[in-house]
Structure formats: C-alpha cells, structure tokens
Amino acid sequence: MIRYLLKRLLWLIPVILVVSSITFFLMHNAPGGPWDRDPSARQVDAITQQRLNEYYGLDKPLWRQYMAYIIGDFKKDGSFDCGLVCGDLGPSYRQRGRTIQEILFESPAGKNFFYSRFGFSLRLALIALGMSVLIGIPVGIISALKRNSWIDYLSLFVVTSGISIPNFVVALFLIIIFASWLHWVSIVPQSWDQVDVWILPSIVLGFNTMATTARMTRASMLDILNMDYVRTARAKGVPERLVIFRHMVRNALIPVVTILGPALAGLVVGSFIIETIFSFPGMGRAYVTAIGQRDYSMIMGTTLIYAIMVALANMSVDFVYVFLDPRIRLTD
C-alpha cells in the first residue's frame, strides 16, 4: 500500500506540470494585463508599468517567466528566488507586498486556520458534502426499497430537479424566499461566526451533489436487490434490517464513494459562484476577482491548488474501496 501511495503521489508531478503549463500560456494570451483596470483603460502610466514589469519579471520571454515560476530565477543582486518547487506560489500583482500563500492561507489575527480564505472554502465544502451524504444516501436507500411508490416518485422529482437546475438559480430562489420574503436569514451577513448564515450557501452548494448521491445510491440498491446473496440471506431467515445494512447498503456504497471523493474537490472548486452570490470570503471569490484583474500569480496558485485537491480526492477513493470491500487490494 505504501508503494501504491508513493506511486500515486509521484503522478502529481506531471499533473501539476500539465495544468500549470496550460493555465500559464492561456492567461498570458488573454487580452489585458495585471496593470490594467479594464481592457481599454490604463491604471498606471507607461513608465510605471515598465518598471513594474521589470520588478516582477514580466518583461522576460514567456518560457523564462514559466521556468521562473516553476523552478525559480536569479535576482539582480545574484540571489536565487526559488519557485513552485519550493512551495512558493508567487507574489500578488494586485495586493502588492503579499504573497499568494498569505492571501489564501493566512487567517486574521487571533483566528485559526479555518478563518483563512482556503479555510472558509474548505469548511463550506465539508458542510455541503456532509449534508449531501446525510440526506442523499438515506433518500436513495428509501427510494429503492419503496420503488414505484409515492415516496419514490417524490424523491425522483427532487433528485431530477437537483441535477437539472443550476446552483446559481437555486441560490437566487432561496435568497428571494428566505431572505427577501420570510427574512429568516440576512442577504449580506454581518459575521460568518453565526451558524444560520452558513445554511443557505451549504444547501445551494450541496444540492446537486445530494441529488447525484441519491440517484447513484438508488440505482446501486436496485441492482443489489435481486442478487443471489441477498435472496440467500433472506432465505436463511436473516432479519431484514441486517440484510439491508450488512449485505445491501455496504455493497451499494462502492459506486457512491466513487463520486464522493471528486465531489469534495468539486465543491471547493465550484464554490466560486456561490461565494460570489453570497459575498462569501472564500478562495473561489478571490479566484474570480483575480481573473478580472489579471493577477497571474493568484490565478496560477488557485488553479494548482484546485488541481491538487482533485487528484488527492481521486486517490482517496481507492483507499476507501479497501475498507468497503475486503476483496479489493491496492497493487502497483
């Protein structure tokens, strides 16, 4: 298992190189630059822009800028400034004097890590995933056991709605109903320390994942209902509760786990729309702002973090398989 883990971790290197290469050259080919307020208006004069380009190394050829970001480059004083290989995501061009690590991972004074931008996004994704699992799996199980009943039809309606309706549309409807009409929650919360302000963003973010989980669980349970080992267990007089939870649910969760690992990364990655709608102080909102401002280092850093999270989530699924099905072994 250790060899398998090391092998999968080594595969992160080509993944990072490919993602960083595509992101780097695409964003440099986009119109505008980090010193532009918008494509048609200059924020700084030409001389200041030239000096900023020299200071940040943006006057060098693209291949050298890329190598400087990944490996590092020598400064004018002769010192070597290490790049991504040393864990340096680079300086922010807009929030000058701050690095990407400080912006994304540094929390306010007196607060813990979960109050950083990355911590906020991670907390929101974990809450959304928890709600998706706690609701989606039971709904899928009950829907399969009550097949062709009104419970099944109702759950299928909710599941289909969750898969079909975009999350930003759900967000707008919930804001209108619960914030504008009922006044149960605040549209722009004063503090994110309150529990109730997390409810709407978590529901909106996890609604699609909940629907997908419920649909996958229902389909897996229906496949297992007519399996020989299930009929054998019932013929032996095993109580129905044990048949369901010991023989059916455990095997039905294997395909469900396949989507839950990438779903967590997907919730973090896809949260930028929800963060923008709810003015959420997370990493996704900083990512969207960086794209509009052409903050190259912020775009590169957040994209690489998202790519690593997706890769690690996919790898974690393989290890969960082992605990669900003892027949599965991780080999090289």
Q: The CATH number of the domain where 313 resides is what?
A: 1.10.3720.10
User: Which domain does 263 fall in, by range?
Assistant: 113-324
Q: Sign of dihedral through CA atoms 99, 28, 70, 316?
A: positive
What's the domain count of the chain? 1
Question: Going by DSSP bridges, is the β-strand pair 80-82/72-74 parallel, antiparallel, or unpaired?
Answer: antiparallel
Q: Give the pLDDT of residue 106.
A: 86
Q: Give the pLDDT of residue 256.
A: 81
Give domain status of residue 171, yes or no: yes
Give domain status of residue 92, yes or no: no
Residues 177-192 pLDDT 10s: 888 888 787 767 777 7
Q: Give the pLDDT of residue 270.
A: 64
Give domain status of residue 67, yes or no: no
Residues 236-275 pLDDT 10s: 888 877 888 877 887 788 778 777 777 777 777 667 778 8
Give domain status of residue 231, yes or no: yes
Q: How confident is the model at residue 288 (pLDDT cuts 50, 70, 90)?
A: confident
The phi and psi torsions of 99 (rounded to 5 degrees) equal -90, 165
Give domain status of residue 58, yes or no: no
Q: Give the pLDDT of residue 38.
A: 53
Spell out the long-range contacts of 52-56 with Cβ–Cβ below 8 A and sequence spacing 24 or more: 52/93, 56/91, 56/93
Average confidence score pLDDT of the chain: 82
Residues 73-96 pLDDT 10s: 877 777 788 888 888 888 888 887
Taking the C-alpha atoms of residue 32 and residue 74, their distance in angstroms, rounded to an integer, is: 27
Give domain status of residue 299, yes or no: yes
Give domain status of residue 198, yes or no: yes
Are the CB atoms for 281 and 192 separated by under 8 Å?
yes
DSSP tally for the chain: helices H, then strands E: 15, 4
Whole-model pTM over 0.85: no
Helix axes 12-29, 2-10, angle to 10 degrees: 20
Give domain status of residue 247, yes or no: yes
Residues 40-72 pLDDT 10s: 555 567 788 788 888 888 888 888 888 888 888
